[in-house]
Amino acid sequence: MNVDDYDFELPEELIAQTPLQERSASRLLMLNKADGQLRHGHFTDILDQFQPGDTLVLNDTRVIPARLFGVKEDTGAKAEVLLLKNLGEDRWEALVKPGKKLKTGAVIVFGDELRAVIEDESDMGGRTLRFIYQGIFQEILDRLGTMPLPPYIKETLEDRERYQTVYARQEGSAAAPTAGLHFTEELLAQIADKGVNIAYITLHVGLGTFRPMSVDKVEEHVMHAEYFEISQETADIINEARARGGRIIAVGTTSCRTLETAGQQFQGKALEACSGWTDIFIYPGYDFTVVNALITNFHLPKSTLVMLVSALAGREHVLAAYREAIAESYRFFSFGDAMFIY
């Protein structure tokens, strides 16, 4: 399977640079995965798509201010760090810029409060950093760090909370689960009032979100592992819904990957509380075990996310939907519009 099979022309002006003033004001493209039928609407129309007994699964990860700007201690040259994974004992997996000049042993200084020693190197700018500081690291990070917006967003985000979902709880993510940015507390309450179960999982978004496809064949790509948690309460909600024949609707590809990780782990049996690291890569040919429907944004060409939605709805249906979205000037990526694949 060729990566180029998931390419398409995307006009630059459709890349959303800022969030809409109202979270639920986004447009919604609805795609029937069985026949490819498309319908247009607004995100609030999602309420009409739910049925009593459905279960909506949300990723409650919370983005940390993971981007740090400092200088190389010996030269004073500018350095940028994006924290990705807490390895414990003040060590973090991170991406650094400029990678060619920040080698093992280099020290990066962030003002008077924080220093980082590069302990190890990996590919594509990946580094292992050990931080040196006094006090509480999270408080220092809150003061010095900035929100890790994707590189295609050039605008400054004045309100940090606009890059958080309204239900974000568990700190540790390097990027927002952006499909959830459309939901308001009021809309979630209306969904619950309709008889829809709402359940939460956690997946801390890491390097897998930032790493592009660098292979020609889809099957050769290796996903980077990200940490996830599913509580027993959530497992019970999902098990009961499945037993009644209710749909499991994932909000975002991160929720989808987490649920399918659990589905693979328990191999068709009832889900149980679980946690750990997942590197699951979902692409066409994958047999979904838990997820029936998906709410997601519009993704990059040739990305693993386009391949995931193609696995659920079929490559031809998804690419046709994307062509329609482009023709109708839908907003793409993190602050863009939404799709409902059912």
pLDDT digits (tens, 9 = 90+) for 169-182: 999 998 999 999 99
Residue 151 lies in a domain: no
Q: Are residues 203 and 105 in the same domain?
A: no
Widest distance between CA atoms in the chain: 64
Q: Are residues 58 and 89 in the same domain?
A: no
Tokens of 104: 């093992």
Backbone angles phi, psi at 247, to 5 degrees: -80, 145
pLDDT tens, 216-262? 899 888 888 899 999 999 999 999 999 999 999 999 999 999 999 99
Q: Are residues 44 and 77 in the same domain?
A: no
Q: Are residues 132 and 241 in the same domain?
A: no
Q: Are residues 250 and 291 in the same domain?
A: yes
Q: Would you say residue 122 has pLDDT above 90? A: no
Residue 298 lies in a domain: yes
Number of folded domains that form the chain: 2
Residue 140 lies in a domain: yes
Q: Are residues 232 and 263 in the same domain?
A: yes
C-alpha count within 13 angstroms, C-beta hemisphere, residue 211: 22
pTM over 0.85: yes
| Strand partners of residue 61 | 170
Q: Are residues 319 and 225 in the same domain?
A: yes
Backbone angles phi, psi at 157, to 5 degrees: -95, 110
Q: DSSP character for 224?
A: P
Could you say which of 144, 172, 204 is where a domain stops? 144
In terms of C-beta density within 10 A (0-12 exposed, 13-18 middle, 19 or more buried), how is residue 37 classed? exposed
Other C-beta atoms lying within 10 Å of the C-beta of residue 214: 11
The Cα 249–Cα 267 span in angstroms is: 19
Domain span holding position 117: 67-144
Q: Would you say residue 100 has pLDDT above 90? A: no
Residue 149 lies in a domain: no
CATH classification at residue 96: 2.40.10.240
- pLDDT at 208 (0 to 100): 63
CATH classification at residue 231: 3.40.1780.10
Question: At how many degrees (to 10) do helices 304-313 and 252-266 cross?
Answer: 60
CA angle 228, 234, 235 (to 5 degrees): 90
Of residues 211 and 245, more confidently modeled: 245
Could you say which of 144, 176, 194 is where a domain stops? 144
Asked whether the beta carbons of 266 and 259 are under 8 A apart, the reply is no
Q: Are residues 85 and 184 in the same domain?
A: no
Other C-beta atoms lying within 10 Å of the C-beta of residue 234: 24
Asked whether the beta carbons of 130 and 116 are under 8 A apart, the reply is yes
Q: Are residues 216 and 322 in the same domain?
A: yes
Residue 335 lies in a domain: yes
User: By C-alpha distance, which of 333, 307, 208 is closest to 3?
Assistant: 307
C-alpha count within 13 angstroms, C-beta hemisphere, residue 19: 24
The Cα 306–Cα 311 span in angstroms is: 9
| Least confident piece of the model among 90-104, 148-162, 299-313 | 148-162
- pLDDT at 150 (0 to 100): 81
Q: Are residues 92 and 220 in the same domain?
A: no
Q: Are residues 102 and 201 in the same domain?
A: no
Residue 150 lies in a domain: no
pLDDT tens, 19-60? 998 999 999 999 999 999 999 999 999 999 999 999 999 999
Q: Would you say residue 271 has pLDDT above 70? A: yes
Could you say which of 144, 173, 189 is where a domain stops? 144
The Cα 281–Cα 215 span in angstroms is: 14
The Cα 316–Cα 319 span in angstroms is: 5
**Measured between alpha carbons, how far is residue 206 from residues 61, 212, 223, 263, 268 in Å?**
11, 13, 11, 21, 28
Asked whether the beta carbons of 91 and 133 are under 8 A apart, the reply is no
Q: Are residues 214 and 305 in the same domain?
A: yes
The Cα 23–Cα 25 span in angstroms is: 6
Residue 114 lies in a domain: yes
Residue 153 lies in a domain: no
